[in-house]
Amino acid sequence: MPPAHETLAEITGFLVAYPPFSSMRSEALEALAAQVEIEYFPAGTEILSQEGEPAEYLYVVRKGAVELLDEGELVDVLEEGESFGHSSLLAGLPPSFTARAREDTLCYLVPADVARAALAEADGVRFVAATLRSRLAHATARSHRVTPWGTAHVGEKAQPVLVVPPETPIREAARRMTEGGRSAVVVSLEDGFALVTDHDLRAQVLAGDLSPDDPVAAVRTRRAPVVEPTRLALEALVELLESDVEALLVVDDGALVGIVDQAALLELDGPSPFLLRQRILRADGVESVAAAVADAPLLVVRLLDANVAALDVLEILTTVTDAATRRLAELTVAELGEPPARWAWLTLGSAARREQTLATDQDNGLVYEADDEASEPYFRSFAERMNERLARCGYTECRAGVMARNAGWRLSVRGWRELYESWCRLPSRHNVQLAMIGIDVRDGIGPLDFRATLHPLLEEMPRRHEFLDALARAAVVERPPLGFLRDFVVERSGEHVGRLDVKAGGVLPLVNLARLHALAVGSTATRTVDRLRAAAARERIPGETAAELEQAFATLCRVRLEHQAAQVVRGIAPDNHIDPAELPPAERRELKDAFRAIARAQKAIATHPATRIP
């Protein structure tokens, strides 16, 4: 599909059939079409990158298809006439999705200024709202989770409302609005509610035929749209935009709770993932980043209160760290100047697996393209500043020294490849411990794509029998804290007497098992759940075992995160030491079941050569 050369009439004729262009005046549409650029994208081309640079165009699919991906998972497929990039373009923020050509694709590109003008019209606003709603629904249906675009509920944003009977004189209703500082009054009718606004009174009384002595019910207005208090604020905002009204009434089982307008819905004064990430990416300095990150613990509490699944909370928390790291990297490059070679900041450990909790430290590295010594001083300075600034933002320094400022974790591409090779060739206990951190790696910050180096190494792992055997031995070192009678084994002395370390005794053994089984089949998956599923799909472990371990992992993460959230509420630094006696009986049983599942999986490893299971 070569690049197209189309006439103005052909471009206009195509656009007029699709929103938001279908309602534009012909003169305005022709002016817009005259500035359209046409670009060809071969299949597989990444057009917009999630967390990348903000969109500079509104993209319209002319021929072909474009897929939208959220962290690599398919959200939607756009076909001819459908548009993308407008949310990023309007907000000036990185795209929420990756847009990739699903097949050879031709797109119209509408320049930013022209697109913003078109989208600012009433029909353009409704188009943005409709596509936002559609993609929100796609993401929710795909993952059964609240998306990181905002988790506040309408009930939290509802403001008190002034209600008057229908026979109240307009003069009296206006007086009460003035005294109460309200811009609207709700009229209670037999079949619902009517919303009378300042605008209605000016248009129909001061500039119209109604008298101040007429009943307020005489003001001509349509029934006010209502919304339940449990609706997400973002969904309600979309509904408000689509309805082209000034406010929504919040009604719970027929009872009027309050009123929300666009300003109230956007003013999510409690921490929300969307606004927290926005604050971080717009921060003007390290202290501003730190101030925004400080809201992350309260965000976790709020997400758990909203019954968001623990694994999703961990992922959302990781996106906050990603945003902070990205912004700190931008600020550091601005100070030091452009790097002398292409580079990538590497996230390691739990953050690489997108399983970060509130009790975490830094695990990171740096890779750069050049092998010459001239590049080293720049990247050493860059890494030192990054590690120090991450610490200032609350990410404590790794006690084991797994940080980019240390030369062993700051290497060229060739250096990283040789490091991985040395771990596999000489799988000593020390090297295996390092490998279990360094193999869990994710880039994404910086222009260098480290996956091209890492993935081939991971795909070769099934042939590394000696290394896999060493990983297997390491995977059974830490045992779940269950005694002979299957009761919990707790610490008998020290600071955490009477408690158990749910991370060391549960999460890490399970993570190690999942990593082992995934590498044994050459999987490049990073998340623990994805690794278990990959191992089951390739018959490395039975599907029942994978499902059992997945459930165990969800239980452990929930118990761990709820424990940390409770500590945050009490003003205590979060940790991983849980008192089993404080858990409800049902949770104690679930925790025991999780530990037993891990013990069974470890037993299978201990009784079979790692490279020959099952």
State residue 66's pLDDT score.
Answer: 95
State residue 132's pLDDT score.
Answer: 64
State residue 198's pLDDT score.
Answer: 82
Q: Which residues pair with 185 in a beta bridge?
A: 196
At residue 449, the 3 state secondary structure works out as coil
- Residue with more model confidence, 267 or 165: 165
- Residue with more model confidence, 94 or 147: 94
**Closest Cα to residue 86, out of 63, 42, 117, 62?**
117
Q: What is the mean pLDDT of residues 226-240?
A: 75
Q: What is the mean pLDDT of residues 251-277?
A: 71
Tell me which of 3.40.50.1100, 3.10.580.10, 3.40.50.300, 3.30.70.2190 is the CATH number of domain 154-266. Answer: 3.10.580.10
How many Cβ atoms from other residues are within 10 Å of residue 559's Cβ? Answer: 22
At residue 19, the 3 state secondary structure works out as coil
Task: For residue 237, name the pLDDT band (cuts at 50, 70, 90).
Answer: low
At residue 25, the 3 state secondary structure works out as coil
Q: Is pLDDT above 90 for 591?
A: yes
Q: Which residues of 576-603 are buried (b: 16+ CB within 10 A; e: fewer)?
A: bbbebeebeeebbebbbebbebbeebbe
State residue 170's pLDDT score.
Answer: 92
Q: What is the mean pLDDT of residues 363-388?
A: 93
Q: Which residues pair with 348 in a beta bridge?
A: 441
Q: Pairing between strand 577-578 and 500-501?
A: antiparallel
Quote the CA–CA distance of 86 and 563 in Å, as a whole number.
40
The alpha carbon dihedral of 439, 442, 445, 447 has a sign of positive
**Closest Cα to residue 469, out of 509, 432, 524?**
432
Tokens encoding 234: 């973002």
Q: What is the mean pLDDT of residues 307-319?
A: 85
What is the distance of C-alpha 602 from the center of its chain? 33
Q: Is pLDDT above 50 for 245?
A: yes
Quote the CA–CA distance of 308 and 383 in Å, as a whole number.
35
**DSSP letter at 393?**
T
Q: Is pLDDT above 60 for 434?
A: yes
Q: Is pLDDT above 70 for 583?
A: yes
What is the signed CA dihedral for 286, 322, 141, 537, rounded to 10 degrees? Answer: -170
CATH topology of domain 8-143: Jelly Rolls (2.60.120)
At residue 73, the 3 state secondary structure works out as strand
For the chain, the structural domain boundaries read 8-143, 154-266, 273-459, 471-612
Tokens encoding 127: 């188009």
Q: Locate all alpha helices (DSSP H) within 282-428, ordered by sequence.
A: 286-293, 296-305, 310-336, 349-352, 376-392, 413-425
DSSP codes of every residue in 555-582: HHHHHHHHHHHHHHHTT----SEE-GGG
Query: CA geometry: angle at 520 spanning 515 and 521, to 5°?
Result: 105
At residue 346, the 3 state secondary structure works out as strand
Query: CA geometry: angle at 76 spanning 70 and 79, to 5°?
Result: 135
For the full predicted model, state whether its pTM sits above 0.85: no
DSSP codes of every residue in 174-239: HHHHHHHT-SEEEEEETTEEEEEEHHHHIIIIISSS--TTSBGGGS--PBPPEE-TTSBHHHHHHH
The CA–CA distances, whole Å, from 470 to 370, 431, 459 equal: 33, 10, 18
Reported as a single tens digit per residue, the pLDDT across 479-501 is 898 874 457 776 776 777 789 99
Q: What is the mean pLDDT of residues 301-322?
A: 84
**Closest Cα to residue 442, out of 93, 147, 53, 71?**
71
Backbone φ/ψ region at 549: left (φ over 0), alpha (ψ -120 to 50), beta? alpha
Task: For residue 379, name the pLDDT band (cuts at 50, 70, 90).
Answer: very high
The fourth-level CATH superfamily of domain 273-459 is Beta Polymerase, domain 2 (3.30.460.10)
Question: Mean pLDDT, the chain, as a whole number?
Answer: 86
Q: What is the mean pLDDT of residues 172-179?
A: 88
Task: For residue 268, name the pLDDT band (cuts at 50, 70, 90).
Answer: very low
DSSP codes of every residue in 450-493: THHHHHHHHHTGGG-HHHHHHHHHHHTTS--SB-TTSPBP---S
- Residue with more model confidence, 199 or 348: 348
The alpha carbon dihedral of 585, 587, 589, 592 has a sign of negative
State residue 135's pLDDT score.
Answer: 57
Reported as a single tens digit per residue, the pLDDT across 38-80 is 999 999 999 999 878 889 999 999 999 999 987 777 878 899 9
pLDDT above 70 coverage of the chain, percent: 87
Task: For residue 373, name the pLDDT band (cuts at 50, 70, 90).
Answer: confident
Q: What is the CATH number of domain 471-612?
A: 1.20.120
Largest CA distance in the chain: 92
Tokens encoding 283: 């921060």
**Closest Cα to residue 256, out of 168, 181, 155, 178?**
155
State residue 515's pLDDT score.
Answer: 97
DSSP codes of every residue in 280-311: HHT-SSHHHHHHHHTTHHHHHHHHHHTT--HH
Q: Is pLDDT above 80 for 120?
A: no
Q: What is the mean pLDDT of residues 469-479?
A: 93
Quote the CA–CA distance of 543 and 601 in Å, as a whole number.
12
Q: What is the mean pLDDT of residues 353-380?
A: 91
Q: Are 154 and 231 in contact (CB under 8 A)?
A: yes
Reported as a single tens digit per residue, the pLDDT across 556-579 is 999 999 999 999 989 899 999 999
Reported as a single tens digit per residue, the pLDDT across 528-554 is 999 999 999 999 999 999 999 999 999
Q: What is the mean pLDDT of residues 417-444?
A: 93
The alpha carbon dihedral of 204, 206, 211, 215 has a sign of positive
Tokens encoding 45: 């081309």
How many Cβ atoms from other residues are within 10 Å of residue 152's Cβ? Answer: 22
Q: What is the mean pLDDT of residues 141-154?
A: 49
State residue 485's pLDDT score.
Answer: 47
pLDDT above 90 coverage of the chain, percent: 53
